Amino acid sequence: MYKIFINDKPFIISADYTLLNRYEDLLQVNEMKNQSLMDLVRKTEELNAKGCIIIVEDPVVLFHEFKTHFTCIDAGGGIVFNKKNEVLLIKRMGKWDIPKGKIDPGEKIEHGALREVEEECGITHLNIRCFLNKSYHSYKLQGHRFLKVTHWYLMDTDYTGKLVPQKEENITEAKWFKWEDLNINSLDTYQSIKELLFEVKVQLK
């Protein structure tokens, strides 16, 4: 299954028909007969749209077709825990987020993810515990469509110093949250970030 967030709304490509019951509030497409993929993308971009789920025999083929309509950008980020079992979040453009950023040309994704977390939060002594997954986020800029593929890592640190938000990246705050007390549902963040945090909760049980 591929879940791409378009304006924070899910655009799902899957072979699993049982998902239709789970996502009954989304625009549902069974197979792609007489359907234009980009028409469905444009419908999802509309303000009143809730998202779209497409059921096809081979999701990989359709996802590769989807990517041909976008400029792909690789990014890396980290869900960071300290020794107090606190998780690191940043406030960017008024919403809580997870530190992440674009991978530089020729840079290994793991190194880029560590660098971005360090730069955005002023933190050091980071260690990658494991790879989590990839998320997909689409956006438009100056009439062009981009697909950001973010590689997420679970990270640890023994850093106890001051956190310094990277203001030039529109980050106004970097803060530790007690993991066991974090209410993901009520957190003022994006749906894609909530799903990632819920996945971490499942993995750390």
The model's pTM is 0.92
The pLDDT tens digits of the residues spanning 139-173 come to 988 889 999 999 999 999 999 999 999 999 999 99
Q: List all residues 6 or more positions away from 159 whose beta carbon is below 8 Å from its beta carbon.
A: 82, 123, 124, 125, 126
Residues 60-68, mean pLDDT to the nearest whole number: 96
For the chain, where are the E strands, in sequence order?
Answer: 2-6, 9-14, 27-30, 52-55, 71-81, 86-92, 95-97, 100-102, 126-141, 144-157, 171-178
46-59, pLDDT tens digit by residue?
999 999 999 999 99
Q: What is the mean pLDDT of residues 168-182?
A: 96
Q: Which numeric CATH code is attached to 76-203?
A: 3.90.79.10
36: left (phi over 0), alpha (psi -120 to 50) or beta: beta
Helices 59-67 and 37-45 pack at an angle, to 10 degrees, of: 70
**With 90 as the cut, is the pLDDT of residue 197 above it?**
yes
Cα 180 off chain centre by: 22
- Examine the pLDDT at 68 and tell me if it is beyond 90: yes
Region for 153 from its dihedrals, namely left if φ exceeds 0, alpha if ψ lies in -120 to 50, beta otherwise = beta
When pLDDT is cut at 50, 70 and 90, the band that residue 32 belongs to is: confident
pLDDT in tens, 4-18: 999 999 999 999 999
Model confidence at 83, pLDDT cuts 50, 70, 90, reads very high
DSSP state of 51: -
| CA–CA separation, 37 and 40 (whole Å) | 5
Find residue 28's DSSP bridge partners: 53
* Rounded Cα distance, 28 and 23, in Å: 8
Q: Cα dist. 204→15, 128, 161 in Å?
A: 28, 15, 25
User: Residue 153 contacts by C-beta under 8 Å, 6 or more apart in sequence?
Assistant: 76, 77, 78, 79, 110, 113, 128, 129, 130, 131, 132
- For residue 203, is pLDDT > 90? no
CA atoms within 13 A on the CB side of 34: 0
- What pLDDT shows up at residue 205? 75
Q: Mean pLDDT, to the nearest integer, of 91-113?
A: 97
Q: What is the mean pLDDT of the chain?
A: 95
Q: At residue 35, does pLDDT exceed 90?
A: no
Instruction: Give residue 45's pLDDT.
Output: 93
Token match 């509309």: residue? 46
pLDDT of residue 100 exceeding 80: yes
Query: Tell me, what's the pLDDT at 204?
Result: 86
**Taking the domains of the chain in order of start, what are their residue ranges?**
2-67, 76-203
Give the pLDDT band of residue 133 (cuts 50, 70, 90).
very high
Q: What is the pLDDT of residue 172?
A: 97
